[in-house]
Amino acid sequence: MINTSADYQTSINDNRSFLVDLSITFADGSSITSIDGSLLMSGGLRFDDAVSAPGKLEIGAAIINQCTFILNNGDERFSGYEFMGAAVKVKVGLQLQNSVEWLNKGTFYIESAKTTGIAISITAIDAMSKFDRSYMDSKLEYPASLLEIYRDACYVCGVQMGSAHFTNDNYTVQERPSDDALTFREVISYVAQIACCFARVNNEGALELKWYDIKFIELEADLWGGNFMKEESGSLAFGGDFTDYNAGDERYGGDFTAQHSYHHFYQLLNQNIATDDIVVTGVRVSESQGAGENIVYSVGTEGYVVSIEKNALIQSGDGEVIANMLATELIGFKFRPLTVGIQYDPSIEAGDCAYVSDRKGNSYRAIISSASGGIGTSQTIRADAETPVENTSQRYTEAAKTYVEARLVAKQETANYNKLNDILTNGLGYYATYEEQADGSKVKYIHDKPNLAESAVIYKQTIDAYAVSTDGGQTWNFGYTKDGNIIAQTLSAIGINADWLMVGGYNDADGVITVKNAAGDTFIRIGKDGITMTNGAKLMGGNGVLSNMQVDSVNYKGATGFGFCGYAYDVGNGAAEKASLYLWVHIPTGFVVQEAYVTLYHAPFAYAATYPSSISGIGCARNLRLYKPDSINSYSWAGYYGSEYYIADNNSYLELEGAFGENGFTGDTEALITKVSANIGDNLGSGLNLLKIDTADDPPTTFKSAAEQCGVAKATINVIGYMS
């Protein structure tokens, strides 16, 4: 909700003297400032604001909200302007007794402008529309946390970040979504779902991930005393006795500052209020297994269940964890579904909470899932949810993705992510209060409302420090001391010189450092998973400095480089014999293998012979597979002293199934082929390891068939891990 003063809250019940201030900046840089209400047609300013689709309680909604207004162009003052794509800064003011209280309603981007001659009807949409671009434009390296994904989306799409942290923001997504048609807005929606939030662009133009702040209403819950029909009805609270004045139950009813966090609607123009509260009893998350297969995880009980069916960031193995995280936030969430009409109040925003009192004086706890209305018209407030029957019958709902489709959004690259100039140009003024100290010195406050106690944004200055609060002074989210210490949520700077730098550990968040080049490509990422380069190569894992050991193969004669592989025909004994490749790799004691891969290189073999028969052609090795012996004790060499020698391999081998695919590897008779095996790291242990690459085909029976099954090949093994 937009913070307002006590004078505003008192006056708006009877005073409807609204003022308007519009500033339009066109695509060519020209602008029109201070368009007031006299230049708008009657009823010509309206806002449609929502954080959920009609009729549903949604998490993860990322809705484009809009502002519509009608300019009076009877004197042709607005003719000749190109409105499409222009930015509109909108402020609404309420005339108080001695001043005007202005509320910033946000910046919107014109997507439609139509004229009827004397009037120009304009529809403008908020900065959520900037996320309607292909996620292929993101160069973020995965694994990435939800916070990193959110920050990257804001950076690439040129939207300010409105949330320094949010629920579950340190949750890590291992693999980048593979859907090439994915948009940034869909990704933002997926992030918001896992965070148990909705996504909205606030009145400062920043993207917020947040949820209904229902706790303030819960603090002021009433203790029901029952009725006169039954003596035993009602709740009991022991009030103590006259012997012990410290005895008795206490009930905290909240304080007056909490009332700034919700609305109270009691002057209803119309009402449609459900007879029962909605209470969330369970959470259901569907995890995709590929090929149309899903696993569904449920937490809680049947009744009113909030479900997520399709979310590209929920990957294999994550569904149960996410279901439990969401259950912690959602189960027990309670409100009354309703639709009511009230007089327009520009301080009301979708995502707020409210009490609604009907004509009989009954009060209901409500969320505001949408608020639509404007100057000169009423305002419709909705607290949306399916009925319990609808929720039970439709067990799985589509993930909240998109609601309003933007048809025209000019691609806007941000040249400077710091929006300071725009904020200063369009910002509201401030009020000042000085608090005199006992020694005659003063503490200075500047604030957004005439009364300091009613202000939400407060700047406090003493001789020792300067600080900023956005919640009326309950917490201070930015500041600096006379010693040069700075506390900030985000920092944009040309350069930073520091003796030391510590990231992470705040609010249980993991630290991340990302270095990008001028094009926005990630060059290096340092996080809890280690140090990762642009190409995905890791310099350090989560457990230590990574090492990559690489060993080349030897052939059955002990030679490195390319050699015969497959079958070779021994003319002397008139039979075909296997030509194998061997890989020896030593794993030091204490070295932890994370992964290991064998890379096989195969080239065709052009053969020609005249004895024992005249043949020629091109051969290749076929059905090559990877094996490991059950022991290496039977390994030996044989040969004539001073003459040729060879491996006398009497070991018993077991195949590492699927290492080169289900059907093994077969070479090509026309080109060199490279084949990388599956990860075989689990098959390697400390000490000396032996692997063999061999054909699984039956021995050929002729000289020609043996030549056709012979290629030349070599192999390397890469073992990646760290010393424990």
Q: What is the DSSP string of 676-688?
A: EPPP-GGG--SEE
515 close to 523: Cβ distance less than 8 angstroms: yes
Q: Does this model's pTM top 0.75?
A: no
Q: Which residue positions in the chain have pLDDT lower than 70?
A: 215-260, 289-292, 387-427, 483, 489-495, 497, 499, 505-508, 518-519, 533-544, 571-573, 638-648
pLDDT for 90 equals: 94
Q: Distances from the Cα of 296 to the Cαs of 57, 220, 266, 292, 430, in angstroms? A: 20, 37, 43, 13, 53
C-alpha–C-alpha distance, residues 80 and 77, integer Å? 8
User: What domains can be seen in the chain, in order of their start residue?
Assistant: 6-49+58-127 (2.40.10), 131-220+261-393 (no CATH), 442-490 (no CATH), 545-723 (no CATH)
CA angle, 601 as apex, 599 and 604 as ends, to 5°? 160
pLDDT for 197 equals: 94
pLDDT for 645 equals: 64
pLDDT for 242 equals: 52
**What kind and span of H or E run contains 71?**
strand 66-72
Q: What is the DSSP letter of 183?
A: B
91 close to 144: Cβ distance less than 8 angstroms: no
Residues near 559 by beta carbon (within 8 Å), at least 6 away in sequence: none
Per-residue pLDDT reduced to its tens digit, 126-144: 999 999 999 999 989 888 9
pLDDT for 473 equals: 86
pLDDT for 233 equals: 42
pLDDT for 292 equals: 64
pLDDT for 534 equals: 64
What is the C-alpha R_g of the chain?
Answer: 35
